[in-house]
Amino acid sequence: MEVIEAKSAGFCFGVARAVKMAWELAGTAQRPRMLGSVIHNEHVTGALAEQGMTALSHPDEAQAGDSVLLRAHGVGRAVYDTLSGRGAAIVDATCPRVAHVQQLVKEAQDEGRQPVMIGDPNHPEVQGVGGWCSSLVVFSGPDEIAEWAESIAAAGETALTVVSQTTLRREVWESSLKILKKQCTNLKIFDTICDATHTRQSEAALLAARVDAMVVVGDPQSANTKHLTEICRLHCSRVFQIESADELPWAELSGCRVVGLTAGASTPASIIKEVKKTMSEEKIQGEGMENFAELVEQYTNTLNTGDKVTGVVTAITPTEVHVDLGCKQAGYIPVEQLTDDPSVKPEDVVKVGDQVELFVIRVNDVEGVATLSKKRVDAVKVWENIEEACANKEVMEGIVTEENKGGIVASVKGVRVFIPASQSGLPRDAAMTELVKKRVKLRITEVNRARRRVVGSIKVVQQEARQAAAAEVWANIEVGKRYTGTVKSMTSYGVFVDIGGVDGMVHITDLSWSRIKHPNEVVAIGDTLEVYVISFDPEKKKISLGVKDRSTNPWQVFMDTYKAGDVASVRIVKLMTFGAFAEVVPGVDGLIHISQIADHRIEKPGDVLSENQVVDAKITAVDEEKQKISLSIRALLAPTPAPADAD
C-alpha cells in the first residue's frame, strides 16, 4: 500500500502556538488551569493533564492564584473580566486570526453596523466572537441567509459587516456572499478564513481525487477535521475519519493500492506519523512526548536586544502593531518603527496574520514586553540589495525626487541615489527638472554604507539598451523594411531618424513628394515618422531611409487625373532664368517656358510670376518615359489684336 500524506496536514500556526503556551504553563505555573480544552484533541489534553494542568468548565470556577490558559478558539470579553475579578492570571492563547475576527465585530458595532458571521453557531470560536459585540447574527450557510437577507433588504438600508469562521469551507463562504451581495448594498466584507485552512482543504480535495481511499486523522469534535472529511467525500467514495492508528479500518482499506492521508489542524505530528507508519506496517512509539518537548523548547526561547526575530501580527492600532513572537514576551512595533514613510498608515504596511521579520530594540523582562522595529530590518535588507545590485551590475528602478547640485537624486527602495548630471542620460544643455517625479532605470555604480552614499547612472543603462537594440536592428534589417522612428537631429539636406538604437538618414528629397527647401517645412525634432529602408551598409554603419509613400506614386496620380490639352490650376514653386516650375499635383512639377508665360516678350519670369502664386495653365505636352510635363499660360490668353494702320 502506497501512502501519500498531504503537505499541510497537522497543526496550524494558531494551534501550535496554543499547545506551546499550554505546555510551558503546565511546566512552570503553580496552579495551571485551562478554560475548556486548549484544542480539540484528547491526546494533547491528556498529556497536559499528566503534567498537572486541570480544566475549568466555567470562569467562575477560577480561584485567586490560578494561571488560566484561554484556548485557541478564543472567548468573549466577559470571560476576561470574570477571571481578572477572581484574581486569576490570564494566559491568552487565542489564535491571532481569531483575535482579528473578534476585533472586526467589535469595530463594526462601534461604527453602528450589524456584525454577521458565517459559521457554526455552536462552535466555540463563533461563540467567543459573539462575546465581543452585543448582537452577532450567525448563519451556518446560504440556505439560512437567503430569507433573512431578503427581509433586511425589504426593511430598508442596513449596514452589515460580514466575517467568517476561520475554519469555514470556502464554497460555503462564497455561496453565502453571493446572496448577501444581491440583497444588500451597504456591505463590509472581511474574508477571515484562515489561509492555512484553505490550503489544507484544497490539498485534501486534490489528493482525494487521485487515490483509492482517504484517511482523515483528527478528533471527532474538531470542526476543522469534520470539514476535511466532508470535502474528501466529495471527491472520493472511501473516506475514513479516525482519531488514532488504533482506529484504522483495515478491512475497508484492503485492496487499496494508493491511500491519501490528511489531518485536522488540531492533530499533533506524532499521531500523523504513527498512523502513516502503521499503514506502512512500521510501528512508532514514544514520539508524543518528544514532540511536546520540541514545542516547549521553541516557546521558552528568550529574547535579547539586537536579535532578529520572526513574528505574526495579531493586532493593529493607530500607535503600534502587536506581534506574537512565540515566546514569553509580548512584542509590539511602535508606529514610528514600522516604516520610513510617515504618510503611510500601519494597516497599509502590515495586515493581521502577516508573518514579518523584526529587529529587537529593547526587552523589558519585568513587564514582559519587547519593543520591535520593522524598518531597521527593511533598511538592512535594502542596503544588502543595493550592494548586491552594484556588484552584479543589476538594473534597478527608482523615482527621481529632486534636482541636486551637480545632478539629480532618485529614490531606489527608499535609499537616496545621487546621479551626476553627466550620467543623467540627458543632453548637456537639457534641464534636470525634466526627470523629476519620473520613474527611471539606472545602475548602481558606487556604494558606501558607512557614509550612506550611493551613486548611480541612467546613461549606462540607456547606452546598453541602445547597443542591444542596435544589434537587433542590424541582425534583421533589409531593404523595404518599415520602422517607426523618432527624428533626432536635422540638417539642410535631411534628417536623422532613430529606428531603435540606430540612426538612419532621410534625405530631403525622400521626405516628401512635394518640393521643399528645408526639412523643417514637414518635420520637427522629436516627431515620430513611419520610415522604410532604401539601402544600408553594415560595414560603414549607414542606413538610407525614406518617408515617401511608394504606394501612391504622384506621377500615377497625375496620369490618372490629367492628359495633354487639359487645363490645371498649378502653384509656382521655383523661378529660373529660362522659365518657371509649377506643381501640378503634389510631387509632380511641370515647366512653363519663359516664352509660354505671357503673350508678349518678358525679360525674366519674375516680371510676371512669383513663388507660391497659383495660376491656370494648359498642359501642352506629356513625356511619360522621362516623366516631364510642358505647361503654357500663354495658350490660355486671348491674342492681343494687332495695331490698326494709320490713314
* Catalytic residue ranges: 125
Provide the b/e sequence for 484-506 (b: ≥16 CB within 10 Å).
Answer: ebebeebeeebbbbbbebbbbbb
Q: What is the b/e burial string over 331-354, where b = at least 16 CB atoms within 10 angstroms of the residue's CB?
A: bbbebebbbeeeeeebeebbebbe
Helices vs. strands in the chain: H and E counts, helices first:
16, 32
- The candidate with the shortest Cα–Cα distance to 73, out of 49, 54, 97, is 97
Which residue type occupies 472? E
Residue 631 and residue 582 in contact, taking contact as beta carbons nearer than 8 Å:
yes
- What SS3 state is found at 355? strand
Per-residue HEC secondary structure of 490-550 comes to: EECCEEEEECCCCEEEEEHHHCCCCCCCCHHHCCCCCCEEEEEEEEEECCCCEEEEECCCC
Tell me the C-alpha distance between 73 and 98, whole Å.
Answer: 7
Q: Looking at this protein, which amino acid is placed at residue 3? A: V
User: How many whole angstroms separate alpha carbon 359 and alpha carbon 309?
Assistant: 6
Q: Distance between CA 241 and CA 264 in Å, rounded?
A: 10
Residues comprising the chain, all counted: 647
| Half-sphere CA count of 334, side-chain side, radius 13 A | 10
The grid coordinates listed for 524 are 520637427
CB-based burial, 82-106: b 16+ in 10 Å, e otherwise: bbeebebbbbbbbbbbbbbbbbbbb
Contact 252, 240 (CB under 8 A): yes
Q: What are phi and psi of 280, to 5 degrees?
A: -95, 10
Among 134, 32, 31, 33, smallest CA distance to 76 is for: 134
Distance CA 162, CA 192 (A): 9
CA distance 187 to 583: 72
Euclidean distance between CA atoms 13 and 312, whole angstroms:
9
User: Residue 262: phi, psi to the nearest 5?
Assistant: -140, 175
Cα 370–chain centre separation: 33
Residue 366: Cβ within 10 Å count: 6
* Secondary structure of 391-424 as H, E, C letters: HCCCEEEEEEEEEECCEEEEEECCEEEEEEHHHC
